[in-house]
Amino acid sequence: MNLKDAIRTIPNHPKPGVMFRDITTLLGDARAFRTAVDRIVQPYAGVRIDKVAGIEARGFILGGAVAHQLSVGFVPVRKKGKLPWRTIAQDYELEYGIDIMEMHVDAVQPEENVLIVDDLIATGGTAIAAVKLIERLGARPAGASFIIDLPELGGMEKLHALGLQAQALCAFEGH
C-alpha cells in the first residue's frame, strides 16, 4: 500500500506557499492506519522498547497505537503548560522564535528505551526537544519514527547526526 495516496495535501495552509500534509485522511482509512502503525512497529520487533513518546498532537494518536502494538506504556510530549503535574521543559527553535516542549518528570525511568513517534518531521525541532527531554531523565532514545519526512527541511539528517535511528514511511518534496 502506498501511504502517500492516503495523505491529503492542502495548499497554502497555514500560510501562503505551504503545502500542508494532512494525515487525518490516513487515520480515517482503517487499512492505511493499520499499515502505518505496522510499518512503524516492524523495525523494533525484537528490540527492547519500554515506552513510546508521542509528540503533540498527532503523535499522540500514532504513539498510542504503536505503544499498544508493542505492549508498552505511552508518554505524551506536550507544549508548555498542558501537562497537569511536575514537568521538565526543553526549548526548540521555530521559524520565527522559540517554543517549549514538556514531559512529566516521572514519565520515563533511567535506562528505559524510548521510541519517539510523530506524524511528520520537518526541521526536527520538536523531535530533538523530545530526545533531549528523554536523555535528561536518564532514559535512552531508541529511535524515532514518522509517517512523513520533508527532506528539504533537514530534520531527519539532524536526528541521524545525533546517532539516532530514525525513519519515515514516506517523503514529500517542498514545505
Q: So which residues are the catalytic ones?
A: 58, 95
How far, in Å, CA of 74 to CA of 63, rounded? 7
Q: Are 6 and 27 in contact (CB under 8 A)?
A: no
Distances (CA, A) of 162 to 75, 128, 156: 21, 9, 10
Q: To 5 degrees, how large is the angle CA 98–CA 80–CA 107?
A: 120
Taking CA atoms, 89 is separated from 41, 66, 107, in Å, by: 28, 24, 13
